[in-house]
Amino acid sequence: MTQQNRLTSGGRIDRSTPLTFTYNGKQYKGFKGDTLASAMLANGIDVVARSFKYSRPRGIVACGAEEPNAVLQLGATEATQVPNVRATQQELFDGLVSASTNGWPSVDTDVMGMIGKMGGNMMPPGFYYKTFMFPESLWDTYESMIRKAAGIGRAPKEKDPDTYDAINQHCDVMIVGAGPAGLAAALTAARGGARVIIADEQNEFGGSLLNSTEQLDGKPATEWVRAVVEELSTYDDVLLLPRSTVNGYHDHNFLTIHERRTDHLADIAPVNTVRQRMHRVRAKWVVLATGAHERPLVYANNDVPGCMITGAVSAYINRYGVVPGNELVVMTTNDYGYQAALDWADAGRKVVAIVDTREAAVGDRTEAARQRGLNIISGSAVIEVQGTKRVTGVSVAGLSASGAKVIGSVTKLKADTVATSGGWSPVIHLSCHTGSRPVWSDSVVGFLPGPTVQKQLTAGGINGQYETAVALQEGLDAGQKALAEVGLAVADVVLPEAKTLKVAAPMSLFHIPHLKPTSQAPKQFVDYQTDVTAAGIEIACREGFEAIEHVKRYTAMGFGTDQGKLGNINGMAVAAKALNKTIPETGTTVFRPNYTPIAFGAIIGRNAGALFEPERYTAMHKWHVEQGAMFEDVGQWKRPWYYPQKGESMQQSLNRECMAVRNAVGILDASTLGKIDVQGKDAREFLGRVYSNAWAKLAIGKCRYGLMCGEDGMVFDDGVTACLGENHFVMTTTTGGAAHVYEWLEIYHQTEWPELEVYFNTVTDHWSTATITGPNSRKLLEELTDFDVSNDNFRYMDWKQITVAGVPARVFRISFTGELSFEINVQANYGMAVWEKLIEAGAKYGLTPYGTETMHVLRAEKGFIIAGQDTDGSVHPYDLGMGWCVSNQKPFSYIGKRGMNRSDCTRANRKQLVGLKTKDPKQVIPEGSAAVLDPNGPKPLEIQGHISSSYWSETLGHSIAMGFIKGGLDKMGETVYYPLGDGTVIEAEICSPIFFDPKGERQNV
Amino acid sequence: MLHIYCPHCGEYREEEEFHCAGQAHIARPLEPEACSDQEWGEYLFFRKNPRGLHHELWVHAAGCRKFFNMTRDTQSYEIKEVYKIGEQPSVVAE
């Protein structure tokens, strides 16, 4: 393949380094310095996509982030597939593999295109809503059809082999864009001693200067760029980020920068490098020097490959040495459009005509074209393009002075390229991200950044200033302003001399009229990527969608991955015309992050796989793993769930573990329970206010269970608190509720009762807890301590400071299983050693490790609740049958007291926690099952409550369940029914939730 | 992401270290039992949702663990002031 459109010299490409790339299975050549798009154009590739709705052939239109058509799929392997890559922004590397994303069977011969042609008029805006809505049952079919027909890229099916990361950055001045304005601002800020970050989405700095033959100080502008970049690199406090798109401008000057570090090198990042990096920048001041995007004009068949914007034509010629055609027609509403014709002529190819919509515009560029003898047709427009897969000619006609009507006769010209310029739209995306509404400027013919609360400055093209000399000056001014704002002195900067060209006034024109009315003319595209036409917008307006946001949603304008960078303003202009309003009256849509599509990998950074979420391990975790424990996630904790032995089912493991506790002794790692140290002379008073029960008389050395309620009276946590000293307590919370409880205590102390002298500290991780429980637990403890742990000396609900296995320990004699139990707390760094000593000594007593599931079964046999499982924010202590845990004698109105005395809380027939015993002892009611009184009654059946806990009890030889029943505490012995999803019904009898050892004798031995 | 000045630490920190605990200046009634159900309900559940200035309670959860008040513009997200518990805002809505 030859690069037929490549010039023999010129451009910023390295002709000595040829590169090979693949597009749709065919190999082509390009050069180092090319983008994928410039290389495709060099090779004469016209069709790069089939359009979304009509399946029309599409070619490359632009040369940067605004490109709507050349959105390709990259990747040599399945794992390295990347969708949504703009060929205009992808640097070429050797071996690059690319493919177009829609078009079946291929972009060149497309079957859907035939449908698009036939169905053109059958696919108006709102087409999907109107056509595919009914019947709803067929929506799945429609959807898969639509998706197949109109994909724009696909996600890889395999794991991404690359790594991504993120860096937090701080700076005085963040400069977005490294064109003339951005570079001048950076140079000024750097010389003034500021900490500077300057980022630009292109591979090298220079912005628009890279695309032109402009001179600064009488030398090519790129030499000035090189000198500035060289100087900037000498400052320690200046960070230069090429290939870095500032994708989001968030509140309080927080910016996210997406740096593509190796996307230009290979399909997979080289070893020990990250592919992309997210910089999270907090900047004192921000200078937006983001430039402007050129607007194409809207005319009939303006999507035929070969239709481009004029700035892109100049860029391909000057930067890449590629002339994207042979015979050029320019249509422009402004002076800048002439530059493409001048560059085209310089490249030695034929300029057929410059069609200027204005009458007699005189500026330096128009005069240069005139002097070159180029054919200028004034007061006219290209009203239609001929061709399908490439432009073959244009129709030119005169325009009325306002540009609203075609007048005069139509002339046909032969051409293969049409470059249009409807003016420039300042790139205000970032300024919109923080909520600033853009403001229309009649003189700029575009939206400018609106008022903002951010510490934000703007310079150059974003202000509608397109002359280099002005952009440089604005950049310098912004740099000086930023220096002053951060408290630094004025910097000494002399700007290079730029030739200031005289510019004639542009014409405010967006939509070129046709001989036929818009609705009957050939399609005039506004948004290429979503196939929105001028006629479509008119229809939307006619159908009553007047707000621009509604027009946008109805037509899908701006909904593509390009966010309508090229087309939005044109669309607003068309809508404004249809509604007989001005553009500012019509309003604008705003832009949201991200500026360009971004890989999920870059968003996630290192927080993937094992690092997706922090995991918390107890000091004994390794032992559990070695024993083959299955784990359960409780909050961020990994807790042993059960310890299967070879050949055991889960139920068999649970049965074995339960029976070991009931008959011998079990051991549970209870380290994850939240532990809060409470100290101060008012600690006791404070406990009385946050728990529903009484604390005034809890003696040193004693433990007490407490229920914690919200102000609404509803239980949200529970746990045992031990009195360590007169002014010192340690509170335990549920594993998952620890952080919430801690904050709960703090908020009440800090905001309501600051007069109480009390201090809290979270000590969850400081302690390891081994709970030994079962009839043999005392014998086991005796082996490891000299302390007298007999029932006489160490009573139930006591705690003792003793030595266990040679280590100081707080041992609590409390029980969550109903068996004789000791909770042994040691400093976490002794946890594993003490655990291993217990395991070793316990062997002869049948010591069996058990996990959370067995813990749940054992406590359910005793009717003990689990906060969060048997409570759901709608039950108070009385609902739980735990009125014994409420003290109404306390002088202070503790949290929850008023709440649980609301009329709704004291009414009859509240759902109350009861036990449920199935008629068939083998049946275990699924948790969550709803209770009814008569399963055969008229539907809908009235739900009486639900099952909150349900297990097989090996101890008892039948199933057990706890659940809520309306008025259940008064319905002991009555029958309820649980209809299941499979049509069967489980019959159960309401009973006490204490199934085992109702007198509580076993824990007291 | 907000940049928040913690009045206890005396430093600007990232929003990740904080969280909002709802509307500020909601005082617990001194005599809950004297409240009607309706009054208690209003204390419990009814909150403002203004467009513009709002006084919020925040906590420096991953920092000093202290609560403080913030006057924030709910439209522009500007933080007008932060002030300690027990203090009154100096910036208030018209």
Distance of CA A166 to the CA centre of its chain: 14
A740: contact with B, CB 8 A cutoff: no
Distance of CA A944 to the CA centre of its chain: 42
Domains by residue range for chain A, with CATH: 14-134+142-149 (3.10.20.440), 164-292+426-485 (3.50.50.60), 296-422 (3.50.50.60), 516-596 (1.10.10.1100), 674-765 (3.30.70.1400), 908-997 (2.40.30.110)
Question: Residue B40: which of A254, A282, A898 has the nearest Cβ?
Answer: A898
**In this complex, do B77 and A898 lie within 8 Å of one another by their Cβ atoms?**
no
pLDDT of residue A54: 86
Question: Residue B61: which of A743, A754, A903 has the nearest Cβ?
Answer: A743
**In this complex, do A903 and B37 lie within 8 Å of one another by their Cβ atoms?**
yes
For residue A103, pLDDT beyond 70? no
For residue A302, pLDDT beyond 60? yes
pLDDT of residue A787: 97
Mean pLDDT computed over every residue of chain A: 94
Q: Look at the block and give the residue holding tokens 């597009």.
A: A23
- Give mean pLDDT, residues A194-205: 98
Q: List A381's β-bridge partners, or say none.
A: A397
pLDDT of residue A856: 98
pTM of the model: 0.91
| Distance (Å, whole) CA A701 – CA A826 | 17
Neighbours of A624 (CB within 10 A): 22
pLDDT of residue A119: 46
Residues of chain B contacting residue A893, judged by C-beta atoms under 8 Å apart? 31-33
- Give mean pLDDT, residues A433-455: 94
Which of left, alpha, beta for A193 (phi over 0: left; psi -120 to 50: alpha)? left
**In this complex, do B14 and A747 lie within 8 Å of one another by their Cβ atoms?**
no
Distance to chain A for B68, nearest Cα, Å: 9
Question: Is there a contact between A812 and A822 (Cβ–Cβ < 8 Å)?
Answer: yes
pLDDT band at A146; cut points 50, 70, 90? low
Closest residue of chain A to B30, computed from CA coordinates: A893
pLDDT in tens, A700-724: 999 999 999 999 999 999 999 999 9
- Give mean pLDDT, residues A359-374: 95
Q: How far is CA A935 from CA A280, A458, A938, A977, in A?
A: 59, 71, 9, 6
pLDDT of residue A55: 86
Closest CA to A196 of A239, A254, A256: A239
| Distance (Å, whole) CA A793 – CA A787 | 9
Question: Is there a contact between A720 and B55 (Cβ–Cβ < 8 Å)?
Answer: no
Residue A716, both tokens: 């949200």
Closest residue of chain A to B1, computed from CA coordinates: A251
What percent of chain A lies above the pLDDT cut of 90?
Answer: 89
Closest CA to A259 of A151, A169, A146, A392: A169
Q: List A168's β-bridge partners, or say none.
A: A280
Question: Is there a contact between A818 and A1003 (Cβ–Cβ < 8 Å)?
Answer: yes
A998: contact with B, CB 8 A cutoff: no
For residue A202, pLDDT beyond 80? yes
Residue B87, both tokens: 């203090």
pLDDT of residue A101: 85
- Give mean pLDDT, residues A868-894: 96
Distance to chain A for B45, nearest Cα, Å: 9
Closest CA to A915 of A979, A863, A967: A863
| Phi, psi (deg, nearest 5) at residue A861 | -60, -30
Burial of A657 (0-12, 13-18, 19+ CB in 10 A): buried
- Given a cut of 50, the residues of chain B with pLDDT beneath it are none
Question: Is there a contact between A210 and A198 (Cβ–Cβ < 8 Å)?
Answer: no
Residues 6+ apart with CB under 8 A from A987: A918, A919, A920, A975, A976, A977, A978
Residues 6+ apart with CB under 8 A from A139: A132, A133
Pairing of strands A715-725, A703-709: antiparallel
pLDDT in tens, A24-59: 999 999 999 999 999 999 999 999 998 888 889 999
- Give mean pLDDT, residues A800-818: 98
pLDDT band at A360; cut points 50, 70, 90? confident
E-strand ranges in A218-297 read 219-220, 238-241, 244-250, 254-260, 276-288, 292-294
| Phi, psi (deg, nearest 5) at residue A870 | -95, 5
| Distance (Å, whole) CA B23 – CA B18 | 15
Question: ipTM of the predicted structure?
Answer: 0.98
Residues of chain A contacting residue B86, judged by C-beta atoms under 8 Å apart? 754
Residue B5, both tokens: 């000045």
**In this complex, do A899 and B40 lie within 8 Å of one another by their Cβ atoms?**
yes
The secondary structure element, H or E, covering residue A480 is helix A468-485
The secondary structure element, H or E, covering residue A584 is helix A583-586
Q: Look at the block and give the residue holding tokens 């058509």.
A: A69
| Distance (Å, whole) CA A3 – CA A601 | 35
> What b/e string do you get for B6-19 counting C-beta neighbours within 10 Å, with b at 16 or more?
bbeeeeebbbeebe
Residue A510, both tokens: 């967006």
| Distance (Å, whole) CA A455 – CA A186 | 16
pLDDT of residue A52: 80
Q: How far is CA B8 from CA A740, A743, A746, B60, B64, in A?
A: 21, 17, 15, 9, 7
For residue A649, pLDDT beyond 50? yes
- Give mean pLDDT, residues A324-353: 97
Nearest-Å Rg of the Cα atoms of chain A is 38
For residue A112, pLDDT beyond 90? no
pLDDT of residue A135: 57
pLDDT of residue A4: 94
E-strand ranges in A368-426 read 376-378, 380-386, 393-399, 406-414, 417-421, 424-426
- SS3 per residue for chain B: CCEEEECCCCEEEEHHHCEEEEECCCCCCCCHHHCCHHHHHHHHHCCCCCCCEEEEEEECCCCCCCEEEEEEECCCCCEEEEEECCCCCCCCCC
pLDDT of residue A154: 85
- Give mean pLDDT, residues A175-183: 98
Strands of A350-356's sheet in order across:
A307-309, A417-421, A327-332, A350-356, A376-378
Question: Is there a contact between A463 and A169 (Cβ–Cβ < 8 Å)?
Answer: no
Closest CA to A309 of A528, A595, A582, A576: A528
Question: Residue B65: which of A746, A751, A893 has the nearest Cβ?
Answer: A746
**In this complex, do B77 and A252 lie within 8 Å of one another by their Cβ atoms?**
yes
| Distance (Å, whole) CA A16 – CA A687 | 80
Helix pair angle (A548-555, A568-579), 10° resolution = 120
pLDDT of residue A972: 97
Diameter over CA atoms, chain B: 43
Nearest-Å Rg of the Cα atoms of chain B is 15
| Distance (Å, whole) CA A820 – CA A826 | 20
Q: How far is CA A671 from CA A735, A769, B69, in A?
A: 9, 4, 35
Closest CA to A198 of A309, A47, A206: A206
For residue A510, pLDDT beyond 60? yes
Question: Is there a contact between A882 and A707 (Cβ–Cβ < 8 Å)?
Answer: yes
A550: contact with B, CB 8 A cutoff: no
pLDDT in tens, B1-16: 999 999 999 999 999 9
pLDDT in tens, A260-288: 999 999 999 999 999 999 999 999 999 99
- SS3 per residue for A159-210: CCCCCEEEEEEEEEEEEECCCHHHHHHHHHHHHCCCCEEEECCCCCCCHHHH
Residues of chain A contacting residue B22, judged by C-beta atoms under 8 Å apart? none
- Give mean pLDDT, residues A797-811: 98
Architecture of domain B3-27+36-84: 2-Layer Sandwich (3.30)
pLDDT of residue A155: 87
Residue A106, SS3? coil
Amino acid making up residue A157 = K
Per the document, the length of chain B is 94
The secondary structure element, H or E, covering residue A117 is helix A111-119
Residues 6+ apart with CB under 8 A from A473: A184, A495
For residue A681, pLDDT beyond 70? yes
Closest CA to A657 of A648, A666, A669, A668: A666
B94: contact with A, CB 8 A cutoff: no
pLDDT of residue A113: 56
**In this complex, do A250 and B1 lie within 8 Å of one another by their Cβ atoms?**
yes
| Distance (Å, whole) CA B59 – CA A328 | 64
- Residues 700-719 on A with a CB inside 8 Å of B are 711-712
For residue A131, pLDDT beyond 60? no
- DSSP code per residue over A776-811: THHHHHHHH-SS--STTTS-TTBEEEEEETTEEEEE
pLDDT in tens, A521-557: 999 999 999 899 999 999 999 999 988 889 988 888 9
Range with the poorest average pLDDT among A104-118, A882-896, A899-913, A990-1004: A104-118
Distance to chain B for A42, nearest Cα, Å: 44
Distance of CA B89 to the CA centre of its chain: 10
Question: Residue A252: which of B3, B61, B85 has the nearest Cβ?
Answer: B3
| Phi, psi (deg, nearest 5) at residue A396 | -115, 135
